[in-house]
Amino acid sequence: MKLILILIAVILVTIGLVKLVDKFIPSKLKPLLQIVLWILIAYLGYNTFQSIYAPIEFNKVKNERYQEVIKSLNDIRDAQLAHRKVSGNFSDNFDNLVKFIDTAKFTITQRRDTSVIDPILTKQFGVDMYEDKVIIDTLAFVSVKDSLFKNSDRYKTMMNVPVGQEGAKFQLKAGYLEQNDTKIPVFEVFVKKDVILFDQDKDLLVQENQVISVDGVNGDALRVGSMDQINTSGNWPQTFGVGSN
């Protein structure tokens, strides 16, 4: 805003100079000086317009690209959660994750409570004694691919960043955090904003990398999960879609 005000002030001063030239400068020099001053006005006017328009266009491009990246991050997150449900941990590379989706199945179970005769207590007291038990029945097996992606094969390319720098891929990590002597699986997937917005205004990109806001994507990357805490959410606000913090 300060820059805009300065540019407007300079334009007004320049216009004032044009009028002064017209009033006090000899006739022979007026045409040349007026041309120079009008060129300066045009240049400053263009810079003023760009200072307003450039951030608007940057935010438009940013939001559109972030939406596409977030769709892919949500697919990866869903695939990782399925991997943990079936295998007990997260995958640390995309090849194995894709293979898992192609071949793995969810087990559909049913839990039911029942009572059965406790032979030890029955013998001890001479009457039928019962104990409560929980029985888990396996009902069916369902394909992970069909459950998560239906008829789509987009999971086969989910490692590719869909917008921004050509050929870029998401970075994937997985491992364990130890809490109370228990190892808990964690994962993280991320891509730098510099990759997503590589062809945009560098000054605005520097500002975007420093964002700290409830309405923005904080930090220098879009990410899902964390290697430092138990968290499978994304670091974007809800305005960008599901899977956010």
CA 103-105-108 angle, to 5 degrees, is 175
Check residue 21 and give its pLDDT.
Answer: 59
Percent of the chain with pLDDT over 70: 73
Q: Work out the mean pLDDT of the chain and round it to a whole number.
A: 83
CA distances from 2 to 5, 14, 208, 218 (A): 5, 18, 19, 25
What is the pLDDT at residue 209?
Answer: 95
How far, in Å, CA of 199 to CA of 185, rounded?
36
Confidence of residue 51 (pLDDT cuts 50, 70, 90): low
Strands in 15-149 per DSSP E: 105-117, 130-143
| pLDDT at residue 32 is higher than 60 | yes
In Å, what is the CA distance from 135 to each residue of 100, 109, 127? 29, 10, 24
Mean pLDDT for 109-129 is 72
Give the pLDDT mean for 70-92: 95
Q: Is the pLDDT of residue 3 over 70?
A: no
Looking at 117-121, 174-178, 195-199, which range is the least confident one?
117-121
Q: Which two tokens stand for residue 76?
A: 């990866």
Q: Say what the pLDDT of residue 179 is.
A: 86
pLDDT bin (cut points 50, 70, 90) of residue 240 is: confident
The string over 18-31, giving b where at least 16 C-beta atoms fall within 10 Å of a residue's C-beta and e elsewhere, is beebeeeeeeeeee
pLDDT band at residue 116, thresholds of 50, 70 and 90? confident
The average pLDDT across 66-95 equals 95
CA-CA distance, 69 to 195, in Å (whole number)? 11
Q: Does the pLDDT at position 153 exceed 70?
A: yes
Q: Which of 139, 68, 140, 147 is nearest to 101 (CA)?
A: 147
